[in-house]
Amino acid sequence: MKTPRRRLSRDERLQIHTLYYQAGWQCPDIARQLGVNIRTVERCVKGLVSPYRPRGRKGVIDTPTKARLIVHATANAEQRRKPWTQIAAELGVKADPRTIYKVFESERYYRRVATEKPFLTDVHKQNRLYWSDLAVTWPSFVWGRIIWSDEATFRLGHEKLYVTRKAEEKYLPDCCVPKFKDFVSLFGHTGQLVLSVVRLACLALY
């Protein structure tokens, strides 16, 4: 039965050199002992213990082009939503889609579902900050009068939107989408559950 060829590790090459040059073993004996193809053993004894690493094929996309792709794909919210193949086409980069995917993944960029957050204007944000600054000084008896409520919202009839981002960019504004144009909400407080079905036909939130 023919033993399949494979690339030897440095330790295996060292062992072959030791058996051949110091112990005086012959190539067929070494091949049987180590379970290595005899042609591989013959090439090994003629070469170095630590050969140079093969260079391999030159990359299709160089470092400057990689940087251009990343900058173009993350310039703003609109660009982050475009597929990577479209980003490459806009820059005139011709490469296999798998090669383009590897370029982004090597920089820890992935296509992820956009994070859904309540649509807040600058006024909303200022009001929330004002309220939190005010409420942080409230005494405990004031907090004891508050009934806490909870809400679960389910989105209806919308496809998932994907964006280009790193793991730590999940809550960047460009990586988020406002919620919700159409939704069903369940509101509950103090053990009681109130079902409220709300369908919104609102202006564009983007």
Q: % helix / strand / coil in the chain, to the nearest 5?
A: 40, 20, 40
Domain ranges of the chain: 1-55, 63-107, 115-198
Cα gap 41→62, rounded to integer Å? 37
Phi, psi of 97 (to 5 degrees): -55, -35
Q: Is the pTM of this model over 0.85?
A: no
108 has which bridge partners? none
Residue 20 and residue 27 in contact, taking contact as beta carbons nearer than 8 Å: yes
Q: What is the structure's pLDDT at 128? A: 80
How high is the pLDDT of residue 70? 94
Cβ-Cβ contacts under 8 Å for 147 (sequence gap 6 or more): 189, 190
Question: Which candidate, 167, 192, 44, 67, places its Cα nearest to that of 115?
Answer: 167
Residue 2 to residue 41: CA distance in whole angstroms: 14
Architecture of domain 1-55: Orthogonal Bundle (1.10)
Where are the extended beta strands (E) located within the chain?
A: 110-113, 115-118, 149-155, 162-165, 176-179, 183-189, 192-198
The pLDDT, as a whole number, for residue 137 is: 84
Q: In this predicted structure, what is the pLDDT of residue 180?
A: 53
Q: How far apart are CA 54 and CA 61, in angstroms?
A: 19
Q: Which residues of the chain have pLDDT under 70?
A: 1-6, 50-59, 148-158, 180-206
pLDDT of residue 47: 82
Please enumerate in sequence order all residues whose Cβ is within 8 A of that of 72, keeping only pairs 6 or more positions apart, or say none.
79, 87, 90, 91
- Residue 7 confidence (pLDDT): 77
16's enclosing H/E stretch is helix 10-17
Nearest to 56 by CA among 7, 108, 4, 110: 7
Q: What is the pLDDT of residue 152?
A: 54
